[in-house]
């Protein structure tokens, strides 16, 4: 969390704000010199036709660790949802060592004063078969985060956050829904269920819409980027993070592939 330091000169005060929360910093910097780029980009979860695109494939080298089997004997209702014994989803690999569940996002390079409207459509996390769906997801600051329970058993949803306020709420039956929002970018907020110690999900909270999660084929795509030079970070729960620098000049598509080492 290398906070960028914004200096705002107002009167004779020198107020330094450590940018823990990009959003509040952006709001607190109206007097900052105008950025050369458009100040605001109307963005939503809809992919914008304008701007550049960064796509890539994510792979890993070496042998993926085995995902531990989950003992669901305490929860017959969840166990019944599986034909074969369920496992954890620590490393989800596709063909040819493609790596799924990597959160890819622009960690630096966006105009400091840019402000992005959070979509009102919620991001949904489903608890089904005593596992989270999806396992890795992204959300914008202020966007509704909807947690639903499709299992007829008790789940508690604990968000372990440092930059955001954490929470821990319970959903003892199927059909329950809880909605929360996050106030500050944070990669990642860990989500867990303490009733079922194997249930884990990871949520990337961003103040911009430029993020994606790699699919089973390891591919991702971030669209609608304004021209600029960006640091793109790829995060994986077991393999750590990697970064790449990508320059976008117009509406072209640039490639950023990442290769993690299984260890």
Partner 1 sequence: MEAADVGGGEHGRGQQVTPALILIALLVTQDTTAGKQVYVKWCAGCHGDNGAGDGEAAHRMIPPPRDFTGAIYQIRTTASGQLPTDADLLRSIDAGLGGTAMPGWRSRLSDRERHDVLAYIKTFSTFFADTSLRPKPLTFGKEPGGGTGADALKVGRQFYDSIGCRKCHGDQGRGDGPSAPTLKDDAGHPMFAADLHENWRFNGGETVEDIYHRLRTGLDGTPMPSFSDLLDQKFLTETELWRVAEYVRSLSPAKAPVVRDVIHAPLVNRALPHSPDDSAWTAVDAYWFPLVGQVIRKSRWFAPSVSGVWVKAVHTADSIALRVVWDDRSQSPDTAWLGHVGRVLAALDPDEGTQEQPALWPDQLAVQFPVAIPTGMERPYFLMGSSSAPVYQWRWASTAHAAAVAGLARGVDRFDSLPGTGVGAQSVYDHGQWRVVFTRALASPDTASQLPFRTGRAIPVAFFAWDGSNGEHGTRMAISTWYFLALDEPVPARVFISPVIAMVLTLGLGMLVVWRAQQKTTFRRKQ
Binding site residues, partner 1, CB under 8 A: 11-15, 18, 20, 24, 74, 153-154, 156-160, 162, 165-173, 176-178, 180, 183, 194-197
- For tokens 């290398």, name the residue: 2
Question: Cα–Cα distance between 98 and 14 in angstroms, integer?
Answer: 50
Q: Which is nearer to partner 1, 143 or 242 (CB)?
A: 143
Q: Which is nearer to partner 1, 24 or 241 (CB)?
A: 24
CB of 258 to partner 1, least distance (A): 28
CB of 155 to partner 1, least distance (A): 9
Question: Cα–Cα distance between 218 and 58 in angstroms, integer?
Answer: 5
Q: Which is nearer to partner 1, 64 or 195 (CB)?
A: 195
* Residue 203: strand, helix, or coil: strand
Question: In Å, how far are 180, 212, 241, 242 from 261, measured between CA atoms?
Answer: 35, 21, 11, 10
Instruction: Name the token pair of 31.
Output: 């007097």
Question: Cα–Cα distance between 71 and 191 in angstroms, integer?
Answer: 20
Q: Which is nearer to partner 1, 28 or 32 (CB)?
A: 28
* Residue 67: strand, helix, or coil: coil
Q: Which is nearer to partner 1, 128 or 170 (CB)?
A: 170
CB of 50 to partner 1, least distance (A): 33
Which residue, among 106, 102, 45, has the nearest Cα to 217 in the 3D structure? 102
CB of 192 to partner 1, least distance (A): 9
Instruction: Name the token pair of 115.
Output: 């402000």
Q: Which is nearer to partner 1, 67 or 156 (CB)?
A: 156
CB of 187 to partner 1, least distance (A): 17
Question: Cα–Cα distance between 135 and 49 in angstroms, integer?
Answer: 28
CB of 256 to partner 1, least distance (A): 33
Q: Which is nearer to partner 1, 74 or 252 (CB)?
A: 74
* Residue 95: strand, helix, or coil: helix
Sign, CA dihedral 224-54-88-142, equals negative
CB of 5 to partner 1, least distance (A): 15
Q: Do the Cβ atoms of 235 and 215 come closer than 8 Å?
A: no
User: What is the CA 73 to chain-centroid distance, rounded?
Assistant: 32
């Amino acid at each position: 969390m290398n906070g960028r330091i914004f200096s705002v000169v107002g009167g004779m005060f020198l107020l330094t704000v450590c940018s823990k929360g990009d959003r509040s910093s952006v709001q607190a910097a109206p007097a900052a010199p105008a950025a050369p780029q458009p100040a605001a980009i109307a963005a939503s979860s809809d992919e914008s036709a304008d701007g550049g695109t960064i796509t890539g494939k994510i792979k890993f080298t070496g042998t993926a660790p085995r995902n531990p089997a989950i003992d669901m004997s305490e929860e017959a209702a969840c166990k019944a949802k599986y034909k074969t014994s369920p496992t954890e989803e620590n490393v989800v690999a596709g063909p040819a060592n493609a790596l799924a569940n990597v959160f890819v996002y622009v960690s630096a390079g966006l105009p400091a004063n840019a402000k992005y409207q959070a979509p009102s459509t919620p991001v949904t996390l489903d608890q089904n078969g005593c596992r989270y769906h999806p396992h890795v997801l992204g959300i914008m600051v202020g966007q509704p985060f909807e947690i639903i329970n499709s299992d007829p058993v008790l789940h508690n949803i604990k968000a372990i956050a440092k930059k955001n306020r954490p929470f821990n709420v319970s959903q003892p039956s199927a059909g329950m829904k809880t909605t929360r929002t996050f106030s500050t970018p944070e990669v990642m907020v860990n989500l867990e269920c303490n009733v079922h110690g194997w249930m884990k999900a990871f949520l990337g909270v961003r103040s911009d819409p430029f993020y994606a999660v790699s699919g089973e084929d390891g591919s991702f795509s971030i669209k609608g980027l304004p021209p600029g030079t960006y640091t793109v970070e790829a995060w994986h729960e077991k393999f750590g993070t990697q970064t790449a620098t990508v320059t976008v000049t117009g509406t072209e598509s640039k490639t950023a592939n990442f290769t993690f080492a299984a260890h």
